[in-house]
């Protein structure tokens, strides 16, 4: 046995041990909380909250890479062999669904502790454990349906065009993403929350603002975000006539109307500047780099291409590494879009002081660190630091002499 083979087995053993050990630790913590819930903290400390979040993100990256490696190089071949009796068109979807189920069950404890218990102990959520588990079940069901359909489509393309499949996948990505942008607000999001029209003076002012920029016919909705969290948010979604301006009830209840209008104007900025379409273009470009590079690595390391579900798992491993390498570029593009939307909101409302107050209130309500470390911003942040955004608006309030 060569040294390279020994080192590979040691690395896979370490990755498997890390993933399963972490999952076991979090399951113990989750069961302990279900028996005797941890008390809520009185102190809402954004610095501590953000520092914990950064640590969890770094651990999550390591755990994600290790988990995908475990699936690709430890579990893939035995699972592939077990599914051989199935008809050929069913093998890839069955493999993907089995992997999804395994990952979801393995990580349920970690998701519960890090995504539910932590928010409750910091006072940013009052959702019950039953409600959280129900949302997880719905999310898993949606993920299973989408995974089965996409993997079945991808497998059919690979079978018919084993050499040209990356180009075909890249070409079909923009219409699929546009379709998802239409379908998600209409059919998926209502599975998790109730959406109802906003009426009264706020609706009139939002529609008046939206009409100035060609979105006067958009649906203006409020959803019960408070079911899951006390944090505030708003967004504009939809393309090709399905546009919706959506505000969380936590934002409507806590923000004065001028601050709410500034937040809505920011979200309108994304719509007016075609950021949804830019996002589709960016996603397609990143997918192009990911698929072409991952396919080249797969052929180089295994001496053959995507000819089985196990090979698909290994392709996913290489794609995960490439996506992580590209993440800082994607986040930089996102931060640029957010700054542009801030400038749009400033021009649309002419009220920088409302923007300053809105951002400060968002920071307080969402426990956002106004000045995260530079490395964290570059690696993980899809939005610019709040302190920087506030300074830009304050310059507009008091222009330099």
pLDDT of residue 399: 58
**Residue 185's pLDDT band (cuts 50, 70, 90):** confident
Tokens for 253, please give them: 């209840």
Q: Which of 384, 181, 195 lies closest to 283, judged by CA? A: 181
Interatomic CA distance for residues 60 and 72, integer angstroms? 18
Question: What is the mean pLDDT of the segment spanning 294-314?
Answer: 91
pLDDT of residue 398: 66
Bridge partners of 248, per DSSP, are 223
Tokens for 279, please give them: 């996002």
First-last CA distance in the chain: 74
Interatomic CA distance for residues 387 and 44, integer angstroms? 18
pLDDT tens digit sequence for 322-371: 999 999 999 999 999 999 999 999 999 999 999 999 999 999 999 999 99
Question: What is the mean pLDDT of the segment spanning 27-51?
Answer: 86
Q: Give residue limits of the domains in the chain.
A: 1-160, 166-401
Tokens for 354, please give them: 């409302």
Map 187-255 to HEC letters.
HHHHHCCCEEECCCHHHHHHHHHHHCCCCCCCEEEEECHHHCCCCCCEEEECCCCCCEEEEEHHHHHHC
Bridge partners of 246, per DSSP, are 221, 235
pLDDT over threshold 80, residue 48: yes
């Amino acid at each position: 046995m060569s040294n390279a083979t020994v080192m590979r087995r040691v690395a896979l053993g370490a990755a498997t041990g890390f993933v399963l050990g972490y999952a076991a630790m979090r399951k113990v913590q989750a069961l302990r909380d279900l028996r005797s819930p941890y008390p809520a903290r009185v102190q809402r400390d954004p610095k501590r909250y953000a520092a914990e979040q950064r640590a969890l993100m770094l651990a999550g990256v390591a755990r994600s890479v290790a988990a995908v490696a475990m699936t690709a190089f430890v579990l893939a071949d035995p699972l592939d062999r077990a599914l051989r009796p199935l008809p050929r068109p069913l093998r890839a979807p069955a493999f993907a669904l089995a992997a999804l189920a395994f990952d979801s069950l393995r990580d349920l404890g970690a998701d519960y502790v890090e995504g539910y218990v932590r928010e409750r102990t910091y006072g940013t959520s009052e959702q019950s454990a039953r409600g959280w588990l129900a949302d997880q079940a719905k999310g898993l069901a949606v993920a299973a349906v989408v995974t089965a359909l996409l993997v079945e489509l991808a497998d059919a393309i690979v079978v018919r065009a084993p050499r040209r499949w990356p180009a075909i996948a890249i070409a079909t990505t923009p219409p699929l993403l546009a379709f998802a942008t239409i379908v998600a607000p209409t059919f998926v999001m209502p599975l998790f929350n109730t959406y109802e029209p906003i009426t009264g003076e706020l609706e009139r002012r939002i529609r008046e603002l939206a009409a100035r920029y060609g979105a006067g016919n958009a649906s203006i909705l409020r959803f019960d975000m408070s079911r899951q969290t006390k944090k505030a948010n708003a967004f504009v979604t939809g393309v090709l006539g399905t546009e919706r301006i959506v505000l969380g009830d936590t934002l409507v209840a806590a923000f004065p109307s001028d601050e709410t209008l500034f937040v809505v104007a920011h979200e309108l900025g994304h719509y007016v500047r075609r950021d949804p379409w830019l996002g589709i273009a960016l996603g397609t470009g990143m997918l192009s780099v990911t698929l072409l590079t991952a396919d080249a690595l797969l052929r180089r390391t295994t001496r053959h291409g995507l000819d089985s579900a196990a090979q698909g798992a290994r392709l996913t491993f290489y794609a995960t590494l490439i996506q992580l390498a590209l993440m800082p570029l994607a986040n930089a593009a996102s931060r640029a879009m957010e700054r542009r939307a801030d400038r749009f909101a400033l021009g649309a409302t002419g009220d920088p002081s409302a923007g300053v107050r809105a951002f400060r209130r968002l920071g307080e309500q969402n426990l956002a660190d106004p000045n995260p470390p530079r490395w964290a911003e570059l690696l993980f942040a899809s939005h610019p630091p709040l302190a920087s955004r506030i300074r830009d608006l304050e310059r507009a309030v008091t222009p330099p002499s």
